[in-house]
Structure 1
Amino acid sequence: MGPGEVAAILFGTFALLVVLRVPVAFALGLAVVPVFFIDPRLTPVLLMREMFKSYNSFVLLAVPFFLLAANLMNGAGITDRLIRLARAMVGHLPGGLGHVNVMVSMLFAGISGSSTADAAGIGSLLIPQMKKEGYDSSFAVAITACSSVMGVIIPPSILMVVWGGLMSVSIGGLFLAGILPGVLIAGSQMLTVYIYAKRRGYPVHVRSTLIGLLTATLSASLALMTPLIIVGGIVGGFFTPTEASVVAVLYSLILGVVVYRSVTLRALPGILYDSARFSAITLFCIGTASAFGWCLAYFKIPAALVAQIEALGLGITGTGIMCALAFLLIGMFIDAIPAIIILGTVLYPVTVHVGMHPIHFAIIGVMSLAFGLVTPPYGLCLLIAASIGKIRLVDAMRDVIVILLPMIAVLMFIILVPDAILALPRWIMPKFVQ
């Protein structure tokens, strides 16, 4: 069989299974089985072998530990402290709670590395409060969902850890490259909130005093040290990403149990169970997606794609736009991690061929997949926010689209001006990022 026939079988079977509501993780594994039976050189045993090979990765150990750190931080009441700090910083602006929502998401992203933890933790506190103060339910849900995407863009990011481990890209370089896009997305969202507040007359809070700002900063200062410890430790070469994730867990544990005393020993088993359950789901997705990706590589489908795109004569910018569209599309239907394994590994040779920097490609991919968290039918962060706001998902779509448009403009800026995101990694890590 040629690459075209195999690709048709793989993606056709996968699409059919998804339509039949088979969970994506299982659909990815089952989609390769027909190919194994059709080709006499392959056996279904290879599916299990490739899955186990993908788990034999030191870097992937960081995934469950970062998830555990995020859950510990949530349990420790870190979100409340971050909300108080954000309110003191931007609560006096028109649409104060909307700005607080964005600012808290940006701060929490530097601690959790998970957008779903962001949407659930912050949404459960701010959406009811925004509705109480007169904000439209659709806007409260939309801004919570859209701001939560910063969780996987601002370092430390679980998606960047997976990407760097799979494609041998400097994870420290990815973390540094994610800072500017995260700040630009936050800025675009705050501008949107300002316009909404002026047009709809959303309330404004009293400006915080200097003493109030200092008190809130001191209250959240230990939590805000988390990204400095993780990113600084990796960039400075003190520990690997996996070791950094363990340090994050230990630091979160000390804050929750010893310093703040908001996490009791009785609550720890529940936090550990939830973290293990979500980690198992994520890692199972990685296993089946790796088997799917191996099948694509075995039949030289990426090479065939490179040849087809080469005939189009696309440069770095054209390839970047094409990759963004592909990631945006696939992110609407499946989770980001299997999308990275399937589509990222297929498109990577294409980007290398046109001379795109690996970090530039990674940031385009991560940002595009992050936006998929608020676009139906998958839109996991939007689903979480809508369930908290007690509205139908379709009722929030208009506001989501309005907030998403300037975020897409930020993505286009990253595609067109790669040196903007590469400047910080090149300055701080010149030996590793050329």
Structure 2
Amino acid sequence: MWTGATFFFAMLVGAPIGICLCIAAIIFLYAEGNTLLFASYPTQMFDSAGNYGLIAIPLFILIGDIMNEGGITGRIVRMALAFVGSLRGGLAYVNLVANMFVASIMGSASSQVAVMSRVMVPEMERQGYRRDFAAGLTVYSGILGPIIPPSIMFVVYSVLAQISVGDMLLSGLVPGLMLAGSFLVLIAILGLFYPYPVNEPQPFPARLRAVRDGLPTLLIPFVIVGSIMGGFANPTEAAAVGALAAFLIGWLWVGDLKVSAMPRILMRAAGYSAIILFLVAAAGVFSWVLTYGRVPQQVAAWIQTVATDPISFMLLVNLILLLIGTVIDGAPALIMTVPILLPIATEIYGIDPFHFGVVVVVNLVLGFMTPPVGLCLYVASAVTGVKPSRLFIVTLPFFFVTVAILVILSVFPFFSTVLSR
């Protein structure tokens, strides 16, 4: 009880989630009165952050930073415009398609929303779209970032679950495409009721030029995903080659990336990586404490009184995680819940860990878009000036479509395991 009270009190006073986890673990050890456990505390932290698979996280972050600095995003947008820009509501489709391409490189929803809000929202507003709709569409397009590989959240989940990082990344590909496809259909349906602008068709030479300029940028996700699927590299090695490809494309092909900017890019990526790795280390200690205190067993006993089969369990988990995701950011929520829920899912209900990982990540990413925290809502609001509450109202159709896809993924594991298996 004291452990939980300490954790929530630290959160209420505004302490970072990693500090909350560490303090709560110390209070538990103090309450137990076992001095030998204190000696194991730093070892548990070090071992949690020492997993080889975690090296992929700073490399994925580095890829995103290089892409932003190197002007790759603009070329991806122009290439998407060449494909779907002439349709009714063309820029809405371009926003989504471009975000899908960017998601295959960045792997972070908040970074993706920040970048694409600056790129797409002013252009959509200039073409006659409402700013709140343009910003809201960009927010929900950002949900693809942590799902379509590469994905930082999938890497963290893989380390927590002690499963293959490569297979976990591949598990997100089909669900990510399902979400993207459902959003495209929703835009088409909304276009029946709202007068979306119609762009002038681009001449064929302009389209060809945009595709020619943009195609080399797709080498980055091809290198990452292709090398993993082909068995040529593990995710960490693929991320390193992807970072090199992003650097060479931004420097030699696009020409906007300057070598002099690399120290700044590396420092920025290192800072963000340090935050995530500290969270993982703190979570390792907290999970160790939970296991010692038999918390997973107590939670499992309660859940079995409510959920009688795997489907009812998954639906219950969705409800719990959706509530958690609205108040706690994705990665910390992942770190807090997986050590408790995953053993219950796999050992009691026989749920595939890759299937469970996809459902958990999609659910928590949905929390990025949902008040009161809604990290991506606030990121888009800061860039565009639209109130977060207005963004949430505008994006309600996308919220319900995402929930529907989430239910499908929960009930039918095939979509999550078809590539990993």
2:135 is matched with 141
CA-to-aligned-CA distance 1:114-171 (integer Å, 9 cap, x gap): 1122111111111122222232222122111111010010011111122122212232
1:129 is matched with 123
Task: Tell me whether 1:229 sits opposite 2:231 in the alignment.
Answer: no
Deviation at 1:78, TM superposition (A): 0.9
State the AA in 1 paired with 2:229. Answer: V
1:406 is matched with 401
Q: 2:20 aligns with which of 19, 24, 27?
A: 27
Deviation at 1:46, TM superposition (A): 4.2
Q: Which whole-Å CA distance do the structure 2 matches of 1:77 and 1:303 have between them?
A: 51
Deviation at 1:14, TM superposition (A): 1.9
Task: Tell me whether 1:373 sits opposite 2:372 in the alignment.
Answer: no
Task: Tell me whether 1:185 sits opposite 2:179 in the alignment.
Answer: yes
Give the superposed CA RMSD: 1.8
Deviation at 1:236, TM superposition (A): 2.1
Q: Is the 8 A contact 1:234 1:244 kept in 2?
A: yes
Task: Tell me whether 1:421 sits opposite 2:420 in the alignment.
Answer: no
CA-to-aligned-CA distance 1:304-328 (integer Å, 9 cap, x gap): 2222223335212111112222222
Q: Partner of 2:335: helix, strand, or coil?
A: helix
State the AA in 2 paired with 1:164. Answer: S
State the AA in 2 paired with 1:324. Answer: N
Q: Is the 8 A contact 1:94 1:198 kept in 2?
A: no
Q: 1:333 aligns with which of 327, 332, 335?
A: 327
CA-to-aligned-CA distance 1:40-94 (integer Å, 9 cap, x gap): 1155554433222211111111111110011001111111011011111122222
Q: How does 1:98-137 map to 2 (within 5 A)?
A: 98-137=92-131
State the AA in 1 paired with 2:380. Answer: A
Task: Tell me whether 1:151 sits opposite 2:145 in the alignment.
Answer: yes
Give the stretch that moved more between structures: 279-288 or 130-139: 130-139
Q: Is the 8 A contact 1:89 1:208 kept in 2?
A: no
CA-to-aligned-CA distance 1:331-358 (integer Å, 9 cap, x gap): 2222322222221121111111111111
Q: Is the 8 A contact 1:111 1:223 kept in 2?
A: no
CA-to-aligned-CA distance 1:292-315 (integer Å, 9 cap, x gap): 121111111112222222333521
Q: Which whole-Å CA distance do the structure 1 matches of 2:104 and 2:392 have between them?
A: 27
Structure 1 length as normaliser, TM-score?
0.92
State the AA in 2 paired with 1:142. Answer: G
Q: Which whole-Å CA distance do the structure 2 matches of 1:312 and 1:199 have between them?
A: 42
Q: 1:15 to 1:94 in 2, by over 3 A?
A: farther
Q: Which whole-Å CA distance do the structure 2 matches of 1:118 and 1:313 have between them?
A: 37
1:14 is matched with 7
Gaps of 5+ in 2: none
Q: 1:241 to 1:374 in 2, by over 3 A?
A: same
1:252 is matched with 246
Q: How does 1:295-314 map to 2 (within 5 A)?
A: 295-314=289-308
Give the stretch that moved more between structures: 165-174 or 115-124: 165-174
State the AA in 2 paired with 1:14. Answer: F
Q: 1:220 aligns with which of 214, 217, 220?
A: 214
Q: 1:198 to 1:312 in 2, by over 3 A?
A: closer
Q: Which whole-Å CA distance do the structure 2 matches of 1:262 and 1:19 have between them?
A: 44
Q: 1:210 to 1:174 in 2, by over 3 A?
A: farther
Q: Is the 8 A contact 2:148 2:176 kept in 1?
A: yes
Give the stretch that moved more between structures: 171-180 or 242-251: 171-180
Q: How many residues align?
A: 419
Q: Is the 8 A contact 2:53 2:165 kept in 1?
A: no
Structure 2 length as normaliser, TM-score?
0.94
Q: Which whole-Å CA distance do the structure 2 matches of 1:343 and 1:24 have between them?
A: 13
Q: Is the 8 A contact 2:44 2:284 kept in 1?
A: yes
Task: Tell me whether 1:323 sits opposite 2:302 in the alignment.
Answer: no
Deviation at 1:243, TM superposition (A): 1.3
Q: 1:167 to 1:267 in 2, by over 3 A?
A: same
State the AA in 1 paired with 2:312. Answer: G
Give the stretch that moved more between structures: 332-341 or 43-52: 43-52
Give the stretch that moved more between structures: 411-420 or 195-204: 195-204
Q: Identity, % of aligned pairs?
A: 32
Deviation at 1:248, TM superposition (A): 1.3
Q: Partner of 1:152: helix, strand, or coil?
A: coil
2:75 is matched with 81
Q: How does 1:333-372 map to 2 (within 5 A)?
A: 333-352=327-346, 353-372=348-367
Q: 2:32 aligns with which of 36, 39, 60?
A: 39
Task: Tell me whether 1:278 sits opposite 2:311 in the alignment.
Answer: no
2:284 is matched with 290
Q: Which whole-Å CA distance do the structure 2 matches of 1:71 and 1:272 have between them?
A: 8
2:192 is matched with 198
Give the stretch that moved more between structures: 61-70 or 389-398: 389-398
